Amino acid sequence: MYTRCGTISSARELFDRMPTKDIVAWKSMIDGYGIHGLGLEALNLFHTMLEERSVAPNSLTFRSLLSSYTVTATLA
């Protein structure tokens, strides 16, 4: 909800405070960065997800990541 309203910092703060993050939480935050043209932040978060090994990315996660680059390239 916060990412859709444009408050990325609030969304990230809540995301960081989550004790357990599932694939939906990771994908939502990656989507949020992508929607606002923050492709590098989306990629960094994706790498963090891989490093933490808490969940494995799925096809929707990859779609969100690729989409974030499309939006970033369009805005540049």
pLDDT digits (tens, 9 = 90+) for 30-74: 999 988 888 889 999 999 999 988 788 898 888 888 888 776 666
For position 22, what pLDDT does the model report?
93
Cα 66 to Cα 13, 27, 40, 55, 70, distances in angstroms: 24, 12, 11, 19, 7
To the question of pTM greater than 0.85 for the whole model, the response is no
Distance between CA atoms of residues 26 and 32, nearest Å: 10
How many CA atoms are closer than 13 Å to the CA of 4, on its beta-carbon side?
2
